[in-house]
């Protein structure tokens, strides 16, 4: 009898050690915390939502095939409501409270610029999937991106305007407090005029404005062949409708900030017919990688993916690859591996991170037809 007591006491002891051990594991040591900050709400909500969806696909894929360094990835997502001030709060929370080892975010350049200095100071690697303003990655050596930058995007739209559309007289309509918009306009002005194009008028607006008629009337008076609007979809939707209302019939040209299922909502579907914008990837691309991704995305989310989701998926995969190669979750080691990223087979193309921590990739121009985005051409770097 005594022996039985002894055996069961030992068994209880081993069992309780086991329970303590596994519950310790549950509270963090068997997971790798990755942070994400996005505009899940607010006037650029589709940017954040698409980006989040793409990143979740990447996390699930890696977790389902055994995880990273023998651990599962635990994605911690924060909504900054599309605000730079909220961005600083949530990035600090991810780093200080959640102890994330790396961060993915944001789509909009102004918010990446708000989050990046905090990541840099804490030596936490940050990858922006989609911010194209050149200054974002100049903030420091912990800040990376997996997309092209705006001087290139400006060249793409200048070449498209002049070579493909024979448009040599253009007006600019700029979101004056948005770093992405003003930066891209500066780049465009420079490239387009150096190629022989003429900027016949420049007007400004502020994100959230509802009435653009004064600016559009001033533009109309100069009789441009097209208007270049480097802005975000919520404003462009209204601008396009009001342009047609005052009798401006020329095509509108835009940039990646246009890409959203909400761009062509309501009357903008007709207003934007025959307009064009540059972006990162086209769903019409027959490449098997792109088509496989679209299939996966559709079966999980029951809708079409857009550029942000492709880019966030690639940002996640490149980060996980760097953590694997670093064989460590230390910020400095991950950063060193990210910097070495070369010929990574992303869904948005072959990705090499250059010395400035940017990706050099082609862009596509899409045409708006019947409210849909149809592939027009690819312009290589
Ligand atoms: N490039 C934009 C920016 O820097 C963000 C964006 C990327 C929006 C891709 C839509 C699609 O602000």
Based on the domain organization, do 138 and 206 belong to the same domain?
no
Assess whether 253 and 213 both reside in one domain.
yes
Mean pLDDT of 67-91: 97
Q: Are residue 328 and residue 274 in the same domain, yes or no?
A: no
Are 274 and 291 part of one and the same domain? Answer: no
Is residue 126 domain-shared with residue 95, that is, in the same domain?
A: yes
Q: 260, 279, 298: which is the final residue of a domain? A: 279
Residue 370 CA: distances (Å) to CA of 218, 225, 228, 338, 363? 28, 21, 20, 41, 22
Q: What is the mean pLDDT of the chain?
A: 94
- For residues 84 and 120, membership in a common domain is answered with yes
Among the candidates 279, 307, 330, a domain finishes at 279
Contact criterion met (CB below 8 Å) for 322 and 108? no
Residue of 49, 51, 107, 260 to test ligand 1 pocket, by largest number of atoms within 8 Å of CB: 107
Distance (Å, whole) CA 191 – CA 163: 13
The answer on pLDDT for 304 being more than 50 is yes
Q: Is the pLDDT of residue 24 over 60?
A: no
How close is the Cα of 132 to the center of ligand 1, in Å? 6
Q: Is the pLDDT of residue 9 over 80?
A: no
- Domain end point (choices 252, 279, 306): 279
Q: Omega into 355 within 30° of 0, i.e. cis?
A: no
Residue nearest (by alpha carbon) to ligand 1 atom 10:
257
**Residue 131: cis peptide before it, omega within 30 degrees of 0:** no
Confidence check: pLDDT of 14 > 70? no
Distance 38 CA to ligand 1 centre (A): 12
pLDDT surpasses 60 at 31: yes
Domain count for the chain, please give it: 2
For residues 312 and 357, membership in a common domain is answered with: yes
Domain membership flag for residue 312: yes
Residue 369 lies in a domain: no
4 is a domain residue: no
Mutate to test the pocket of ligand 1, among 80, 127, 131, 179 (most ligand atoms within 8 A of CB): 131
Residue nearest (by alpha carbon) to ligand 1 atom 4:
131
Give first-to-last CA distance, the chain, whole Å: 82
Q: Whose CA is nearest to atom 6 of ligand 1?
A: 257
Residue 1 contacts by C-beta under 8 Å, 6 or more apart in sequence?
none
When comparing pLDDT for 58 and 8, which is higher?
58
Mean pLDDT score, 102-129: 98
Q: What confidence score (pLDDT) does residue 29 get?
A: 72
Residue % of the chain over a pLDDT of 70:
93
Residues in the chain: 381
pLDDT at 368: 98
Quote the CA–CA distance of 186 and 166 in Å, as a whole number: 21
Q: What integer pLDDT is reported at residue 5 of this predicted model?
A: 52
Q: Are residues 219 and 264 in the same domain?
A: yes
User: What is the number of the ligand 1 atom nearest to the C-alpha of 110?
Assistant: 12
Burial class, 27, CB count within 10 angstroms (exposed 0-12 / middle 13-18 / buried 19+): exposed
| 269 confidence band (pLDDT: 50, 70, 90) | very high
State how far the Cα of 225 lies from the Cα of 315, in Å rounded to an integer: 38
In a domain, 302, yes or no: yes
Residue closest by Cα to atom 11 of ligand 1? 256
Residue range 92-108: mean pLDDT, rounded: 98
* pLDDT above 80: residue 72: yes
Q: What DSSP state is assigned to residue 260?
A: S
User: Does 195 map to a domain?
Assistant: yes
Among candidates 197, 195, 173, which has minimal Cα distance to 184? 173
Q: What would the pLDDT profile of 316-364 be if each residue is shown by its tens digit?
A: 999 999 999 999 999 999 999 999 999 999 999 999 999 999 999 999 9
Query: Is the pLDDT at 18 greater than 60, yes or no?
Result: no
Range of the domain at 77: 28-148+286-361
C-alpha dist (Å) from residue 286 to 203, 348, 366 = 39, 12, 15
CA dist., res. 40 & res. 87, Å (int)? 12
Mean pLDDT along residues 229-233: 98
CA of 14 to the centre of ligand 1 (A): 55
CA separation for the pair 229, 209 (Å, rounded): 14
On whether both 356 and 319 belong to a single domain, the answer is yes
| Per-residue pLDDT, 22 | 40
Beta bridge partners of 124: none
* Strands (E) located in the chain: 31-38, 72-79, 102-104, 126-128, 143-145, 169-175, 198-205, 226-229, 252-254, 276-279, 344-346, 349-351, 363-369, 372-379
Best residue among 157, 180, 260 to mutate for probing ligand 1's pocket (most ligand atoms within 8 Å of CB) is 180
| pLDDT confidence of residue 153 | 98
Give a yes or no: residue 262 inside a domain: yes
Q: Which atom of ligand 1 is nearest to 280's Cα?
A: 9
Q: Is 147 helix (H, G, I), strand (E, B) or coil?
A: coil
**Could you tell me the distance, in angstroms and rounded to a whole number, from the CA of residue 109 to the centre of ligand 1?**
7
Pocket residues: Cβ below 6 A from ligand 1: 47, 107-109, 130-133, 180, 256-257, 259, 307-308
Atom of ligand 1 nearest to the CA of 153: 1
117: domain CATH number is: 3.40.50.2300
The answer as to whether 106 is a domain residue is: yes
- Cross-sheet strand order for the sheet of 102-104: 72-79, 31-38, 102-104, 126-128, 143-145
- Residue 342 φ/ψ, nearest 5 degrees: -140, 130
Cα–Cα distance between 222 and 171 in angstroms, integer? 8
Q: Are 336 and 326 in contact (CB under 8 A)?
A: yes
Whether 242 and 129 share a structural domain: no
In a domain, 315, yes or no: yes
Ligand 1 centroid to residue 129 C-alpha, Å: 9
Which atom in ligand 1 lies closest to the alpha carbon of residue 130? 7
């Amino acid at each position: 009898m005594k022996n039985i007591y002894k055996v069961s006491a030992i068994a209880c002891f081993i069992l309780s050690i086991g329970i303590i051990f596994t519950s310790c594991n549950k509270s963090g040591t068997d997971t790798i915390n990755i942070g994400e900050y996005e505009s899940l709400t607010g006037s650029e909500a589709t940017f954040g939502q698409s980006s989040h969806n793409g990143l979740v696909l990447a996390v699930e894929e890696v977790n389902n095939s055994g995880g990273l360094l023998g651990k599962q990835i635990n994605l911690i997502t924060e909504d900054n409501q599309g605000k730079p001030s909220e961005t600083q709060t949530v990035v600090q929370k991810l780093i200080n409270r959640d102890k994330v080892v790396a961060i993915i975010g944001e789509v909009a350049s102004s918010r990446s610029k708000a989050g990046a200095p905090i990541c840099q100071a804490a030596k936490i690697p940050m990858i922006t999937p989609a911010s194209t303003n050149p200054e974002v990655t100049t903030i420091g050596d912990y800040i990376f991106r997996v997309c092209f930058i705006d001087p290139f995007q400006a060249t793409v739209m200048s070449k498209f305007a002049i070579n493909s559309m024979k448009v040599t007289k253009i007006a600019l309509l700029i979101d004056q407090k948005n770093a992405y918009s003003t930066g891209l306009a500066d780049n465009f002005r420079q490239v387009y005029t150096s190629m022989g194009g003429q900027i016949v008028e420049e007007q400004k607006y502020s994100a959230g404005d509802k009435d653009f008629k004064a600016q559009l009337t001033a533009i109309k008076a100069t009789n441009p062949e097209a208007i270049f609007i480097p802005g975000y979809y919520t404003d462009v939707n209204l601008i396009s409708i009001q342009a047609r209302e005052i009798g401006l019939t020329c095509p509108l040209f835009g940039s990646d900030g246009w890409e959203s299922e909400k761009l062509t909502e309501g009357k903008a579907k007709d207003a934007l017919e025959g307009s064009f914008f540059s972006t990162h990837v086209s769903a019409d691309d027959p490449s098997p990688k792109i088509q496989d991704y679209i299939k996966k995305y559709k079966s999980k989310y029951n809708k079409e993916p857009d550029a942000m989701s492709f880019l966030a998926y690639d940002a996640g995969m490149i980060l996980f690859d760097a953590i694997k190669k670093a064989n460590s979750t230390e910020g400095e080691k991950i950063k060193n591996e990210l910097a070495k990223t070369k010929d990574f087979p992303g869904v948005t193309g072959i990705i090499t991170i250059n010395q400035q921590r940017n990706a050099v990739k082609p862009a596509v121009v899409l045409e708006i037809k019947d409210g849909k985005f149809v592939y027009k051409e690819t312009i290589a770097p």
